[in-house]
Amino acid sequence: MPFDSSPDLLVDDSLPARRTSALLAIVAGAALIGNCLLNSPSRFSEQQLHDASPLHWVVWLLALGGQFPTARGVEIRNLIFYSAAAILAILAGARLALSGVRPRMSEDDLWDFRRRASSPYFWWFLLLIVSALSSWYAHAPAVCKGQTIARLLQAAWWFPLAALLVSKHVRMVAITLVAALATTAAIGIWYQLARVMPNLPAARLQYPMGNELWLAACLLPGVFVALGLVAARPRTVWLGAAVLALLVMAAALALTRSRSAAAGLVAGFVAAGLCLAPPKWRKPAILTICLLGIAGALYFQKQFSGGLRSHSFRSRIGYEWPYALHLFSLKPIAGHGDGAYSLLAGQFARMDQLDDPGIMRSDENVWSGHAHNEFLQLLCDLGILGTLAFAAAIGTTLYHAFRTVTASSLPGESPGNRWLVIGLIGALAASTVEACGTPAIREPGATPIVLTVWACLWALVRRSRPAVPTDERDKPFSEAALRLTGLVAVLGAAALGWHGIQDWRAARARFESEAALNEMQFVRSAQQADFAAAHLLDPFQKNLARMIATWARSLEFDRRLAHSAAAPGDDELDVAHEALTRLNQLKQDTPRFLRVSRIESALCLNLARAYERRGERASRDEYQEKFIAALEASRADEPFLADRVAALWRAKPTATVMDRLNWLRALIRVGEMDPQVLQLFSSLDRAPGFAQALEDLYQIAARDENRTPDDWEDRLSPETLRLAALAKALSGSPADAARLADRAVSLYEKAGPRLFGGTAAALHESVHYRFAADPTTLTEENLDRLARAHTLLGSPATRESTLAGSLGETRLHLLLAAGREKDAEAQIPRLESTSPDAPLPTQLAQAYVRLASSFAEEPGRYPNVQRWCRRAEELAPTIPDPHAVLIRAALRAGDESTAQSAARKILDLEPDRLKAAEYLTGLRQRYPGLALWADLAKSYPGLFSPVTSKPTTSQP
């Protein structure tokens, strides 16, 4: 076996080397095409099912006919990537084992760290070692090892391409990559124009890679690689195709409107420009660029202080990045384990959500799984060592690439390759900067694209390094050692490939487990989730499968208890105890994870019931206490879910009035009060000590009005004022309630974007109270307040804008009360509370009915109610609803004549006589002894018979 002292390990001009390189290029190219285009959706949309255009068949083909659904629809890209990475590593290992050339490298050369550190190979090895060791000693090694295996698969993709591709095949891989990304972009634009824009004109481009940031991260390097191919001036036909691909990718990239991609685009062009700049200008240029970058970051931090898209920017600099730095400070050397950020950061988001619910609201479907900055997440996961290794691997590649471009041409290569190197430099620099703002590189699809660009760049520039000086006294590695290394590489790659395939099977199993859960097949769901939890590589997805497995066991135990009133046996208790054991381990690995506390509360409650049936009182009391503790933890984890508060309200009768007020205040911080909040607050209004507790909180809030939010004595002071306003409104003082709501708005405004949801809700409540005090005045001012609330929630509006949701319903009432019926007609189509299939006059009449109903119990507003009901009758004379409201108002105001007339119209118009009779019977019980009831009984025999008598006052 001849020696080779060149920087390349196994690349020469021999036929085996060229064949190996060609095979690697073919495998990588095919994998890139599949990675960019294929997906595995859980189901097709109705639009897809009813589409007869060619796009239907394109989407159907890319989704493989929907035959392999997964939970997110993107896991098939991991299968392609991991399988191809294993094949590439097997080819490289076989080349190493069967090569007829071996390097002149000895053991002493291996320990020459200075020389080894001059190439990315060394830093890649260090990164893998740190990943393995950090995960081994992590707090959850069984979870973190999956990310280490994924990192090994990334290395299995990068190393063969970087070390064994020849320049001709680098160009082939680059062309395939551009073609795949251009096709992806073209299909995405087609889908956007045909399916998305007709319904959502302002939507950002997403299909077919994932969300807009994900797609932008994938397309970004393709722009620079295409530029490199164009500048290389290939044949005219290929030049035209490259230009077309460049334009399509650039258009798609612009449609994603990704700020991270825009920053990457600037960085890529700067890096490419530095390649072409004279060497003496580079250092001043780099310094200037750094200063401009700092100034730009400060400018954007100041500019993005409000609005919907600013929330993502604030979440990064205010929370996600500080979480990573905090975790890094706890274990700075080697981190918490690969992928540990997704396990540990969520607990901090749970604590911060009350201070910034607009972006940090956590519920059972939301979790902080990414830092949105690859380097900061690496600091958390792998500490200084891992982050340094990753950054140095990229840095050494770019350093040698810059040195190569400085020369007039690549030694012994086509002059066009110099332009391809420049394009690849721009692509790698762009992706590196883009990774500082998104987690796309950790998601299926983007990783092989970035690794391919990186590997192709190194493959082009590695031969430009100076040859290693040889020493005749050194003894090179033996042929047997080289072949054994190749064999180990083949076996290791096969093992990695098995893990990659199992990851795909686990993704399918996770989807099946959720489907079985929805079908109430809990045993099957638990089995599928167990397999998914054992084989998924991504730490977050693994924990999600573990949670589903526990959830399914909890539901199975609940079903067994429900199906039998007998005392459960030991085998049934074992199901619950096993679920509880699994849950405790999950809580240890991932504190405060998603719906874990809710599942624990359900388990403990059922265990308490089970032990009560068995007559084991001590165990029953123990699990009853655990149930309440878990319920409290669930409410703390999800403070904005009304059902959690209601469940705790019932389960803990010993809770004080102050406890319950705190639960309600946290519940409404996120925004509007729902009916359940009003119900709970009304019940609390009658509790002993309520007035004093609310007064104590009010005094604190009054003091906080003169302080900045950071100095507030009570973080929930704005909500205190909102509840105080509600109390005033319920006591019949809407004007006082409006003033308190205005004070709450002022407090919210001090907090700025963090509490935009609460500000909008307080503005809306202020309008409600003002409207309740006098529905016919201050219309313009109230419209302005509603428009401002709508703007704070992310959609700019003026007083003339039609609004959606509850704000739109209030706006409709304002317009109707002010007599602006034409404007009200324009508002109606934006509302969900109307009947969209009904004629517009009927919808308008229903709106008048809702308006009148809100004032029907106020005698002072009886003339208004009469007028609105009469107008509703004019618009829709065949519906009984206006008369149902009018009779309530007339009875409340003592107008018996109008009430009798309204009652007769209800009986004449309501097709369901029994329903009408039940409604009138309820009113009769509320207002007994009136002559009109006797008159109605004479005119309509049997109207008030016992059969139809039900105490209800719901409208017919």
- Residue 133: CB atoms within 10 Å: 18
- Residue 938: CB atoms within 10 Å: 9
pLDDT digits (tens, 9 = 90+) for 171-180: 999 999 999 9
pLDDT > 90: what percent of the chain? 67
pLDDT for residue 724: 95
- Residue 731: CB atoms within 10 Å: 11
CA dist 153 to 150, 156, 382, 497, Å? 5, 5, 17, 8
pLDDT for residue 298: 59
Tokens coding 168: 């001709």
Residues 6+ apart with CB under 8 A from 213: 256, 258, 260, 261, 438, 440
pLDDT for residue 467: 53
How big is the chain by its Cα radius of gyration, in Å? 34
Tokens coding 419: 């332009």
How far is the C-alpha of 379 from the C-alpha of 375, rounded, in Å? 6
Flag whether pLDDT at 951 surpasses 80: no
CA dist 206 to 191, 213, 311, 825, Å? 9, 8, 20, 35
Average pLDDT, the chain: 89
Q: At what angle do helices 15-37 and 141-164 cross, to 10 degrees?
A: 130
How far is the C-alpha of 499 from the C-alpha of 495, rounded, in Å? 6
Q: Is 21 helix (H, G, I), strand (E, B) or coil?
A: helix
pLDDT > 70: what percent of the chain? 90
How far is the C-alpha of 404 from the C-alpha of 326, rounded, in Å? 40
pLDDT for residue 470: 53
Give the mean model confidence (pLDDT) for residues 739-767. 94
Task: Tell which residue, 346, 445, 399, 308, has the closest CA to residue 117.
Answer: 399
Tokens coding 621: 């009391």
pLDDT digits (tens, 9 = 90+) for 824-862: 999 988 887 656 677 888 999 999 999 999 999 888 899
CB 248 within 8 A of CB 182: yes
pLDDT band per the 50, 70, 90 thresholds, residue 117: confident
Tokens coding 859: 């005698």
Q: Is 152 helix (H, G, I), strand (E, B) or coil?
A: helix
Q: What angle do CA 385, 391, 395 make, to 5 degrees?
A: 135
How far is the C-alpha of 789 from the C-alpha of 764, rounded, in Å? 7
Q: What is the 3-state secondary structure (H, E, C) of 52-93?
A: CCHHHHHHHHHCHHHCCCCCCCCHHHHHHHHHHHHHHHHHHH
Q: Helices in 818-910 by DSSP H: which ranges?
A: 821-827, 840-853, 862-875, 881-893, 896-909
Flag whether pLDDT at 468 surpasses 70: no
Tokens coding 228: 């490199």
DSSP tally for the chain: helices H, then strands E:
43, 2
pLDDT band per the 50, 70, 90 thresholds, residue 232: confident
Length of the chain, in residues: 956
pLDDT digits (tens, 9 = 90+) for 543-601: 999 999 999 999 999 999 988 888 888 888 998 999 999 999 999 999 999 999 999 99
CB 221 within 8 A of CB 430: yes
Phi, psi of 138 (to 5 degrees): -75, 165
Give the mean model confidence (pLDDT) for residues 105-123. 71
pLDDT for residue 3: 39
Task: Tell which residue, 878, 923, 879, has the closest CA to residue 900.
Answer: 923
CB 453 within 8 A of CB 177: yes
The conformational region for residue 200 under phi > 0 = left, psi -120 to 50 = alpha, else beta, is beta
Flag whether pLDDT at 185 surpasses 90: yes
Contacts of 765-768 with CB under 8 Å at 24 or more apart are 765/673, 765/722, 765/725, 765/726, 765/737, 765/741, 766/738, 766/741, 766/742, 767/810, 767/814, 768/729, 768/810
How far is the C-alpha of 179 from the C-alpha of 217, rounded, in Å? 16
How far is the C-alpha of 666 from the C-alpha of 722, rounded, in Å? 12
CA dist 163 to 167, 403, 457, 683, 908, Å? 11, 19, 11, 73, 88
Give the mean model confidence (pLDDT) for residues 319-325. 95
Phi, psi of 4 (to 5 degrees): -140, 115
pLDDT for residue 365: 80
CB 592 within 8 A of CB 570: no
pLDDT digits (tens, 9 = 90+) for 775-805: 988 899 999 999 999 999 888 999 999 998 8
How far is the C-alpha of 490 from the C-alpha of 86, rounded, in Å? 9
How far is the C-alpha of 555 from the C-alpha of 511, rounded, in Å? 18
pLDDT for residue 947: 44
How far is the C-alpha of 760 from the C-alpha of 795, rounded, in Å? 12
pLDDT for residue 302: 53
Q: Helices in 103-199 by DSSP H: which ranges?
A: 107-110, 113-116, 120-136, 141-164, 167-191
CB 120 within 8 A of CB 394: yes
Question: DSSP of 659-685, one letter per residue?
Answer: HHHHHHHHHHTTSPPPHHHHHHHHHHT
Flag whether pLDDT at 469 surpasses 60: no
Give the mean model confidence (pLDDT) for residues 342-363. 90
Report which residue type is found at 459. A
pLDDT for residue 240: 84
Model-level pTM? Answer: 0.88
Residues 6+ apart with CB under 8 A from 608: 620, 621, 623, 624, 627
Q: Is 103 helix (H, G, I), strand (E, B) or coil?
A: strand
Task: Tell which residue, 29, 11, 91, 32, has the closest CA to residue 493.
Answer: 91
Tokens coding 70: 């997964």
Phi, psi of 555 (to 5 degrees): -70, -35
Give the mean model confidence (pLDDT) for residues 98-126. 72
pLDDT for residue 292: 72
Give the mean model confidence (pLDDT) for residues 743-760. 93
pLDDT band per the 50, 70, 90 thresholds, residue 221: very high
Pick the range with the lowest mean pLDDT from 73-87, 407-421, 464-478, 575-589.
464-478
Flag whether pLDDT at 108 surpasses 70: no
pLDDT band per the 50, 70, 90 thresholds, residue 303: very low
What are the residues facing 103 on neighbouring strands?
Answer: 4
- Residue 219: CB atoms within 10 Å: 28
CB 229 within 8 A of CB 237: no
Tokens coding 576: 């619950």
